[in-house]
Amino acid sequence: MKKIKDPELFKKIKSFLTLYLPKIRAKSPNTVNSYRDTLNLFILFLKCKKSIALYELRTEDFNVNNILEFLDWLKSDRINSYTTRNLRLISIRAFCKYLIGENIIAYETYAKIQQIEKTPVPERFISGMLSVDDVKLILELPNILKISGVRDQFYIALLYDSGCRNQEMLDLKFGDVQIQGETGCINIVGKGRKFIVIPISKEVIAMFKRYSSIFHQEKDNKKFLFYITRCGIYFQMSADNVARFLNVYENLAKAKNPQIPHLHPHLFRQVRAMHLYQAGMPLPLVSQWLGHSQLETSLINSNNSNLQMRYLNIKMTRKLLRSFMD
């Protein structure tokens, strides 16, 4: 095995991924994996385009010219989007910032790397979205005379009402739903392991009570809110399960309205944000509601903007769901 030319660099890569990001910066495993993927891709680029083998890798290879060529390579060879390339650039910048903090690279080199601008993302027309009437149509499709229909309707309604990511929904436990009278909320661990409290509407609370009377009669707070059973054993419901029943309702909906786009969980999150914005919620609040900034429990009842967000969120859902909950 050939001798590594810059062992200190490899030590720093390891400490960056195993100590700095997860422990010091408290980044989630998915975020750490994204940084790891970026570094692996950069190393692959150096091997393919610069003929620099892994053992030959040096700190000096993290320079402006190589990074610019790396970004071009992502576009030409890997057909990456503008957004993906920008995310790779952010990861490279963060690693170089870590290296300067460890006195590994010169400040001049780091300053030049920081000057690399992200690629402007072209504006896209909004397409493949759902109107309020489209959402109402989809929510009316599940047959609630069947227990699977009760589950499906509640899942879709909560997905839309909360704006949660699909995995956040699947990770919910029964005890994460808090109901007090006619008000309620769900507690989720969002992206970046942020604890988020999201209010849910009166109509969705009614769906939850009907759903839990069938699927959670024992009221076990540690049980997954959405689950499947095999041979009497409970398993967390998977993303594939969600995709299957959404595909069923997509086909049913298209039979009534051929303009219905492909239904996937993230679509409901996007649609909900758009509907709230159209209903009058200021864009910064929409961003906060989506979890793009922290929405901690301590702010829910004390911050006026969050109260406004809660009010508009519930008002919008009541307007949508009232027609078929009566």
Per-residue pLDDT of 10-36, as tens digits, reads: 999 999 999 999 999 988 888 899 999
Going by the DSSP 8-state scheme, the letter that residue 20 receives in this structure is I
Q: What gap in Å lies between CA 139 and CA 154, rounded to an integer?
A: 9
pTM: 0.60
H/E element, 184: strand 183-189
Match 């504006």 to its residue by tokens.
Answer: 123
**Other beta carbons within 10 Å of 249:** 20
What DSSP string describes 150-178?
HHHHHHHHHHHHH---HHHHHT-BGGGEE
Quick: pLDDT tens for 52-108: 999 999 999 999 999 999 999 999 999 888 888 999 999 999 999 999 999 989 989
Partnered with residue 235 across adjacent β-strands are: 228
Rounded mean pLDDT of 141-165? 95
Angle at 264 between CA 262 and CA 267, to 5 degrees: 90
Question: Are 310 and 199 within 8 A, CB to CB?
Answer: yes
Domain boundaries of the chain, sorted by first residue: 7-114, 132-325
Amino acid at position 314, single letter: I
Alpha carbon of residue 69 to chain centroid: 30
Q: pLDDT tens for residues 265-293?
A: 999 998 888 888 887 777 777 777 676 54
Q: How confident is the model at residue 121 (pLDDT cuts 50, 70, 90)?
A: low
The Cα angle at residue 220 between residues 216 and 224, in degrees rounded to 5: 75
DSSP structure string for 231-299: TTEEEEPPHHHHHHHHHHHHHHHHHH-TT-----HHHHHHHHHHHHHHTT--HHHHHHHTTSS---HHH
Domain 7-114: assigned CATH number: 1.10.150
pLDDT at 169 over 70: yes
Spatial separation of the C-alpha atoms in residues 261 and 41, rounded to whole Å: 34
185 φ, ψ (degrees, to nearest 5): -155, 165
Say which residue the tokens 């980044």 belong to.
Answer: 27
198 vs 188: CA distance, rounded Å: 8
Compute, in degrees rounded to 10, the torsion defined by CA atoms 125, 129, 131, 132. -130
Tens digit of pLDDT for each residue in 171-229? 999 999 999 988 899 998 776 677 788 889 999 999 999 999 999 999 999 999 999 99
Helix or strand holding residue 229 (H, E): strand 227-230
8 A C-beta contact, residue 136 and residue 323 = yes
pLDDT single digits (tens) 288-323: 767 654 333 223 333 334 444 454 554 555 555 554
**114 within 8 A of 64, measured Cβ to Cβ:** no
234 token code pair: 């409970």
Report residue 140's pLDDT band, with 50, 70 and 90 as the boundaries. Answer: very high
With a CB cutoff of 8 Å and minimum separation 6, the contacts of 73 are 45, 48, 49
Say how far apart CA 106 and CA 117 lie, in whole Å.
Answer: 20
Mean pLDDT of 241-249: 95
How confident is the model at residue 243, as a pLDDT? 94
pLDDT in the model for residue 122: 63
Give residue 301's pLDDT.
32
Q: CA 6 → CA 130, 132, 220, distances in Å? A: 54, 59, 54
Each residue of 30-47: pLDDT tens digit? 889 999 999 999 999 999
Token pair 């989720």: residue: 188
Q: Of 1.10.443.10, 1.20.1070.10, 3.40.50.720, 1.10.3720.10, which CATH number belongs to 132-325?
A: 1.10.443.10
Q: For residue 326, what pLDDT is reported?
A: 47
